Structure formats: structure tokens, C-alpha cells
Amino acid sequence: MNLEQLIDYLSRDEEFNKRLSKWLVFDAQPARTVPFPEDLHPKLQEALQEKNISALYTHQLQAYRQARAGKNVVVVTPTASGKTLSYNLPVFEEILHNPESRAVYLFPTKALSQDQTRESEDLVKRLGVDIKTYTFDGDTPADVRRTIRRAGHIVITNPDMLHQGILPHHTLWIKLFENLKYVVLDEIHTYRGVFGSHVANLLRRLKRICHFYGSKPQFICSSATIANPKELAENLLEEDVVLVDENGAPRGKKHFLFYNPPVVNPELGLRRGVVSEVKQVVRKIMPTGAQMIVFARSRQRVEVLATYLRELAVQMKIPANKVRGYRGGYLPKERREIERGLKNGSIQVVVSTNALELGIDIGQLDVSIMAGYPGSVASTWQQAGRAGRRQSTSLTILVASSSPLDQYIMEHPYYFFRKNPETAQIDRENLAILMSHLKCAAFELPFTEDENFTKDITGQLLDFLVQENVLRKTDGKYFWMSEIYPADEVGLRNIASENVVIIDTTSNNRVIGEIDLFSAPEMVHKDAIYIHDSVQYHVDDLDWDEKKAYVHVVKSDHYTDAITKTDLKVLDILQEDSGEADDFKKYFGEVAVSRATTGFKKIKFHTHENIGLGKVYLPEIEMQTSAVWWEFNDALFVDPYFKESVIGEGLQGIAYTLHNLIPVYIMCDITDISVIPMVRAPFSGKPTIYVFDKYQGGIGLSKKLFAMDRAVFAAVRRHIKDCSCKHGCPSCTGPTLEGNLFGKQSALKILNQLNLEE
């Protein structure tokens, strides 16, 4: 059965169709092409024609023209639209005319770097010119590294390797830095939040070293479609950027299905679980032999789904090893094996986190299934783009959960086709991140007194490091004097530099993965069930001092879900706004947050019922971060209806929906922020809702919310009002089982008194 036949089969399946809230079909679109530019090197034209490329898409030509004119460029077009050629053309053109020129390609993952190396090597082979293209990452042998430093025209790497393996050793890379003409930043929409804030400072260090060697590189960026690609690129580079966003590439026919699980408890508004529904969808497709990718929102969900689908495969007489999981924490050898299996067809189903969302070459899959809304429009289209290619038909099925964000998407499927409202945020000046990179920069080159690594405060920060005996100041310069190699102390993917290593004691203390410090108390606390590649492990001990979790293999009938406790204290108000309305005052400032994992629930596989509780004894994790909060006027609660318990339920309901809908406006995961309602906040004594960034120092998310809060509250009110439940449910104000029956009613009564425009 081919893909067209599968789509026809699903269209005639009544049980399947009654669960669809929308079946959208996007017609194929023809390409908009233009001839090669007259100044394009003849050898490049010949090489492209050998690859059956006889013309350029309009966006490729525009990017080429702007780059050749000396401008920084950001190209924003969909998956499989030829963005690679948009930066390869100006880079190869420059090297053909000036063989001493150099370029650095930065990709967010090693897998993408390796893909690009194959693409570039193919083009070099067809050119018949000795343009040396190399991947430089942790797997590159020492003898090859020497060759790359000496003669590499194009160095393909990732931010982590630039940070630890290139910039600190710039004296070995003089040929590169003296002649660096282009820096390519691919997939910049991934450079947001903590990662993006690190990369912005990493680029400061790169430009500082280039300046030292007398070069000033141009930047060519590419991105998925987001609301602020130009703003994001300019924040990353601290330079002007030209936006190229008129896509000229063709598009194959796309079937996009919005699948909403049935309501199983109308009173509570509960829908059948997304994991169970995905299993039923896969059951219909798996016998056809269609190759599919299933995206899940969390590592745990990946492992639970992979476990279920392997069981399903065995029931259908399909080998269990044709179903694999794929996520962060797997060792590189495992990931490469799975990628090869997808390309050669030996794996039929892969269940993945967003680790496979980006353009890694995993062949041509037939179907993309999302187990829950991925959290952003950009990610949704990236994941949908993993099925089919350019001009072929593709099938995408988005299976909703009961969360407010998922249900919002089910209610507004055309949300995808309006202008993307999501903005990607970074905070270059996050103090923890900034100080880390200031140390790295000082190690690389001494600072002078007049240098401005960051606006206004560089000198103060350097003087502080002198007091801490990290730097020494002599003759107006700051020299590194610590014995520590600073780049080793800084991880770009999180603010905490350390990870917890997971060790399997049943296999001679074999390391099976790692997890970041902030997630460890929730995922690998003592007595947790940790799942890795569908194998269940019992956590025997979490050694917090040594940052090691010891586990052994078990066969469990349940998994675990951590219970956490959070306290918050306001430290400083940086911005406030009463506005014209007197319904609430809003503030932006610094807060201190302490969080502790205090226990866990045991959740039974398949039925997902709570079968027990356990205690966890771990120290609190404390951090200082930024927050936005709203103090509601007491005049809103003069109605006798508003007892304190009712106010509490209403604020809890608003906070629940707010937490889930913020990603509609700000490009983040709901795990990047936290929302805490307080009936009487200790700081003001008023009913208050706090939203804070869940990262040390903050990363700009709550600050962006400060400027768009009333629009977000209007969306919250509209969503709660439109939900069909009576008292509140997981799709709007949260499960009513966790409180009484006033959550929805009280939330609407509060929101209706606010000055909100629809």
C-alpha cells in the first residue's frame, strides 16, 4: 500500500474520521525560479547542472545577491526549500575567487554538521577544485585536526565545539581567523532561551578574536518561520541583518490531520490519553508497512510510547526491533545506528523527542505523527516536514492532548496559516551566562581597559574578577591567572554547568546516559523508574555530591511522576505599569525562587491510574531569576461570592490556562516558565499571579510577556469561556479533581472584570 492508498483508506475509516476536528489539504505549489546570476562562477554553474539544478529559487538568488553585497542575511523559508544552497553559493563563490578565504558553518547539532559535510563534499567533487571541507567535532581524530587548522577552507562544526575546541586555541587557527569571510548560522530559531543567550555571547568572543587577527566576517543565517527572525538574528549578532523570506521553492501536496481524542468523561471534560490514541492511530498504519516518525514531548513519553508500540508490533507479528526510541541521553553510537536504520528501511517506526525535528537526513518517511502539540508553530512545521520531501505527498497527524494549548490548536486549526505570532527570545546580558563567557574571553585574549564586551559594565565585571583572583590587572590590561580552563566549566545548553551521569549497575557500571542538574531531582531521584530505550531502570541512589545516579534494570508495571514544591520572594522591581485601567498593577523584576522535589506518584502503565506515593529527600535548588507579576485590585473581589478559597481556585484556574497559552505568543516550552498564583502574596498582601523564567538570571521570556499581557489574558478568557465543560477541566482551568467546583466560574468572573480587548 503506497501513501496515496493509505490516505484514501483513512478517509473512508468512519471511526477514525469522527475524531478529526479538521482534515486540511494543502495543494502542491510550483517553484518560482530565476536563471543563475551572471556573475556566478562558471564552475559553480556546471557543478549545479550536474546535480540537475538548472535555475535558482527566488529566495536563493536574493540571499546570494545580499551576501555578495556585503550584508548579513537571515533566510526564512520552510523545511526542504533549499536553504543550504542559499549560503553555499556565496561561500563557494568567494573561495573560488579568493582561495585564501575561509568559512565556518555552525549547526546546532553534530548530526546536522555531518549531513552538511556530505553535501559540501559532493559539491566540491563536482567542482573539481581543491576546496577542503571538514567536520570539526569531538569525534575528529588528532591528525585530521592538524590538517583542518592548516588548510580547511570550510570548517563545519557546532557551537559547543567552537566554544571549547576552537576559540580557546585560536593561536593554532591563525590561518582561519586571519581569512574568515563568512560565518553560517543554520537553524537560528533553535538559538533561543538559554542556548541562544550562550550563543550570542559565544559570537561576541568569535568577533573579538577575528578583530584581533584583522578580519570581519559576514554572517548568513537560516531559520524556520517565526514572528521575529530579523530581531532574533540581530540580537544574536549585534549587527544589522537583511531578511529574505519570500519562498520560491515548490511544495508537494500535504495532508494535515487534526485528531482530537474522544471525551471519556463529559462532566470533567477528560479526553482519552494522547499516548493511548497514538497507539490506536499507529495500529491502523503499521500493517501497511508505511515508515513513520512519532514525535513526543518528553523523554519519558518517548520511552512509554516506544514500549507500547513494540508490544503492538509483536502482536502484529512485526519484529520488535523495527520500533525504536530516539532522544537526548542516548549515546552517539546508538543514535547513528537508529539514523542508519531509518535511511535503509530496517526501522519502520521511530519515536523521538524533537531531537529528530531538524534537518538530519533520515531518508524519506511516509507519515509524521505528533503525540501532542509540539509547543510552537515552527516546531510543528519542522516535524511535519519530516514526512515526504519537496514535491511528494506527505501525511501529518497531530494528536491532541487535553492540555489547553492542544485544545486551542484543535479549536483554531487555521492558526497555522496566519502570521506566526511566536517570538524567539534571548538575553545576552544574563549575568550568570555573561560572566561565564567573560572568563572564557579573558582566557583567550587579555582585555584592555577600554574594551566593551558588553555595554557599560565590562570594566566593573573585570574588576570584580580581579578581586576574586581570577584575573590580574597590569599596565591597563586584564590577564587570566586562574588554573581553571574556563570553557570546560561552561555548558551552552543550560546555565548549570554540571550534568548527572546515569550508571547501570547491572552492566558493570556502564554509563547509559546523562541528565541536566535541574531535571535530575525529578527524573532520577531515589526509587524513580527511569526509562531508557524502552528498558525500565529502578534508581537505587542519586549521589547529589558526586552527580551520579545508580540504577538497575527492572520489569515494572508503573512509571513515576515527581512532585515538586516552589517558593518565591520578590527581590527588586525593575519596571511597573498601572496603565489606564485600575483592575491590576503589573511589575517586572528580580525574584528568588527555591524548588524542591518532595515526593513522587506511581502511575500504572496503560491505565495511567495513581497506584501509590513515595517521599523524596533532596536539597532545595535555589536561583535568582526575572519575573512578571500582576497584583489584582481588591475592588475586583467585593462581591460576597469571592471567599478566599474561591479566589484561590479562580487564580489557580487562570494561572493554569495562562501557563499553557503563553507559548502561543512567546517561543518557549511550558517547562521554560513557571506560573504561581497567590491569594495573598507576602510581598503585597494582594491576590497575585507570578510568571518567572525557570533559569538562573532569567532569559527574557517574562520580560516579553510584560509588553503583551492583556492580549494573553484576553486569549485566556476566550479559551476558558469557549470550553464545553461545566466546572473546569484539563483543557481549560485544570482538573477539577484537584480542587472544588469553582475554578472555571471564579476564573471567568475575575477575567470578565479586567479591561481586556478581544
How does pLDDT run across 477-490, given as a tens digit for each residue? 999 998 888 988 88
CA distances from 584 to 50, 305, 429, 630, 706 (A): 65, 44, 29, 6, 13
The average pLDDT across 201-228 equals: 94
The average pLDDT across 76-95 equals: 90
Cα–Cα distance for residue pair 558/543, rounded to 1 Å:
24
Position 272 scores a pLDDT of 86
Q: List the beta bridge partners of residue 22.
A: 258
Burial class from Cβ neighbours inside 10 Å (0-12, 13-18, 19+) for residue 568 reads buried
Which residue in this structure is represented by grid cell 516550552?
A: 669
The average pLDDT across 65-82 equals: 91
For residue 504, the one-letter residue type is: D
Position 418 scores a pLDDT of 67
Position 695 scores a pLDDT of 82
State in Å, rounded, how far the first CA of the chain is from the last one: 48
- Assess whether pLDDT exceeds 60 at residue 497: no
Q: What SS3 state is found at 203?
A: helix
Query: Could you tell me which residue, 739 or 66, shows the higher pLDDT?
Result: 66
Position 502 scores a pLDDT of 92
Which residue in this structure is represented by grid cell 491532541?
A: 400
- pLDDT bucket at 606, cuts 50 / 70 / 90: low
Element (H, E) at 603: strand 584-604
- pLDDT bucket at 343, cuts 50 / 70 / 90: confident
Dihedral sign for Cα atoms in the order 706, 710, 713, 719: negative
- Assess whether pLDDT exceeds 70 at residue 275: yes
Cα–Cα distance for residue pair 73/696, rounded to 1 Å:
32
Cα–Cα distance for residue pair 375/284, rounded to 1 Å:
26
Burial class from Cβ neighbours inside 10 Å (0-12, 13-18, 19+) for residue 638 reads exposed
Position 159 scores a pLDDT of 94
Tens digits of per-residue pLDDT, 541-567?
A: 999 888 899 999 998 888 888 888 888
Tens digits of per-residue pLDDT, 449-462?
A: 989 898 788 999 99
How far is Cα of residue 399 from the mean position of the Cα atoms in its chain?
20
Pick from 168-182, 518-532, 643-657 the range whose average pLDDT is largest: 168-182
Strand-strand pairing, 20-26 and 254-259: antiparallel
Phi then psi dihedrals of residue 655, to 5 deg? -60, -40
Q: What is the mean pLDDT of the chain?
A: 87
Longest dimension (CA), the chain: 83
Query: Could you tell me which residue, 361 or 602, shows the higher pLDDT?
Result: 602
Determine how many CB atoms are found less than 10 A away from the CB of residue 591: 23
Query: Could you tell me which residue, 172 or 609, shows the higher pLDDT?
Result: 172
- Assess whether pLDDT exceeds 70 at residue 399: yes
Weakest mean pLDDT among 99-108, 209-218, 720-729: 720-729
Which residue in this structure is represented by grid cell 557500571?
A: 509
Cα–Cα distance for residue pair 734/402, rounded to 1 Å:
10
Taking a C-beta distance cutoff of 8 angstroms, is the pair 390, 251 a contact?
yes
Residues composing the chain: 758
- Assess whether pLDDT exceeds 70 at residue 602: yes
Weakest mean pLDDT among 20-29, 69-78, 529-538, 653-662: 529-538
Taking a C-beta distance cutoff of 8 angstroms, is the pair 185, 39 a contact?
no
- Assess whether pLDDT exceeds 50 at residue 463: yes
Position 499 scores a pLDDT of 76
Read off the pTM: 0.78
Determine how many CB atoms are found less than 10 A away from the CB of residue 262: 9
Query: Could you tell me which residue, 591 or 621, shows the higher pLDDT?
Result: 591
- Assess whether pLDDT exceeds 80 at residue 579: no
Determine how many CB atoms are found less than 10 A away from the CB of residue 381: 19
Pick from 43-52, 210-219, 274-283, 349-358 the range whose average pLDDT is largest: 210-219
Taking a C-beta distance cutoff of 8 angstroms, is the pair 178, 214 a contact?
yes
The average pLDDT across 697-719 equals: 87
- Assess whether pLDDT exceeds 90 at residue 89: yes
Weakest mean pLDDT among 55-59, 140-144, 735-739, 748-752: 735-739
Query: Could you tell me which residue, 429 or 214, shows the higher pLDDT?
Result: 214
Determine how many CB atoms are found less than 10 A away from the CB of residue 2: 12
Determine how many CB atoms are found less than 10 A away from the CB of residue 72: 20
Position 698 scores a pLDDT of 86
**Among 222, 232, 244, CA closest to 200:** 232
Position 650 scores a pLDDT of 93
- Assess whether pLDDT exceeds 60 at residue 738: no
Look up residue 461 and give its three cell numbers.
565585571
165 DSSP assignment: I
Percentage of the chain lying above the pLDDT 70 cut = 93
Cα–Cα distance for residue pair 580/494, rounded to 1 Å:
39
- Assess whether pLDDT exceeds 80 at residue 608: no
Look up residue 480 and give its three cell numbers.
587570566
Position 294 scores a pLDDT of 94
For residue 280, the one-letter residue type is: Q
The average pLDDT across 177-202 equals: 93
Tens digits of per-residue pLDDT, 31-70?
A: 999 999 999 999 999 999 999 999 999 999 999 999 999 9
Weakest mean pLDDT among 351-355, 381-385, 668-672: 668-672
681 DSSP assignment: -
Which residue in this structure is represented by grid cell 561552561?
A: 490
- Assess whether pLDDT exceeds 90 at residue 175: yes
Rounded to 5°, angle at Cα 637 from 633 and 640: 165
Position 417 scores a pLDDT of 67
Taking a C-beta distance cutoff of 8 angstroms, is the pair 136, 166 a contact?
yes
Position 219 scores a pLDDT of 98
Position 739 scores a pLDDT of 46
Tens digits of per-residue pLDDT, 400-419?
A: 987 788 888 888 787 666 65
Query: Could you tell me which residue, 494 or 734, shows the higher pLDDT?
Result: 734
How far is Cα of residue 314 from the mean position of the Cα atoms in its chain?
33
Position 327 scores a pLDDT of 79
Percentage of the chain lying above the pLDDT 90 cut = 47
